[in-house]
Structures are given as C-alpha cells and as structure tokens.
Amino acid sequence: MKKKCLFCQIANRETPTEILFENDLLVVFKDIKPAAPLHLLIVPKKHIRSINDLTESDRPILSELLMTAKDMAERQGIAESGYRLFFNVERGGGQLIFHLHLHLIGGW
C-alpha cells in the first residue's frame, strides 16, 4: 500500500499537528525542524507536487499562500522586524516534502 502524502494527511487532519490557521484553500503549521525562532509552513490543501506543477487554475491558491504569509507574519508579531518567504523547488532546490509549501521564517 502506498503511503499517503504527509502534508495531505496534515491538511486532512489525519495526523496530530497543531494547525495555526486554516481556510478553504490552505493550512498553516510549524515546521518540525525550525530554521529560525519562528518557522511556519503555509500549505495548500490541494496536492500540488512543486512550483513546477502549478497550472493556470492554481493562481488563486498561490495568491492565497502569499496573502496568508503576510497575515501570519503580522499575527506572530514579526512583520516589523522582518522575515523571509521562500519555496524550495525539487531536490536540487532543497525540497524534502513533495507537496507544495511556502516557508515563512523570522523572529530573530
């Protein structure tokens, strides 16, 4: 039996993960291996392998990821001090989980 995608499981609440924010399109939770004092992952509920697999119809999802990142930075109190947003794309780009996700790091 093929193992189900970890981020699909989290988005479907099939694993015990603290969800910091959720709406129709995405979920937000903490990275289990934080690279900064605050390290959030903003993850679409739709399974998309990587940036390479985005299609025209995914534009609203991409827009929502970025707007949510901005809101989360404000809510977590790091908007003023600054933060980084990034996507790792495929293995060479450092992607470890092959379900699209936006990293938000900050809080230094």
Residue 74: Cβ within 10 Å count: 11
Largest Cα–Cα separation, the chain: 47
Minimum separation from the CB atom of position 7 to Zn ion (A): 5
Catalytic annotation, pick one of 39, 99, 101, 103: 101
Shorter beta-carbon distance to Zn ion: residue 53 or 74: 53
Return the exposure string of 86-95: e unless at least 16 CB atoms fall within 10 Å of the residue's CB, then b: eebeeeeeeb
CA–CA separation, 56 and 61 (whole Å)? 10
* Nearest in space to 40 (alpha carbons), one of 100, 93, 106: 106
Which residue number places its CB atom closest to Zn ion?
Answer: 5
Shorter beta-carbon distance to Zn ion: residue 39 or 99: 99
Minimum separation from the CB atom of position 79 to Zn ion (A): 29
Q: Identify whether 101 is a catalytic site residue.
A: yes
Residues that bind Zn ion (CB under 5 A): 5, 7-8, 47, 99
Minimum separation from the CB atom of position 76 to Zn ion (A): 25
Shorter beta-carbon distance to Zn ion: residue 21 or 98: 98
- Which residues are known catalytic residues? 101
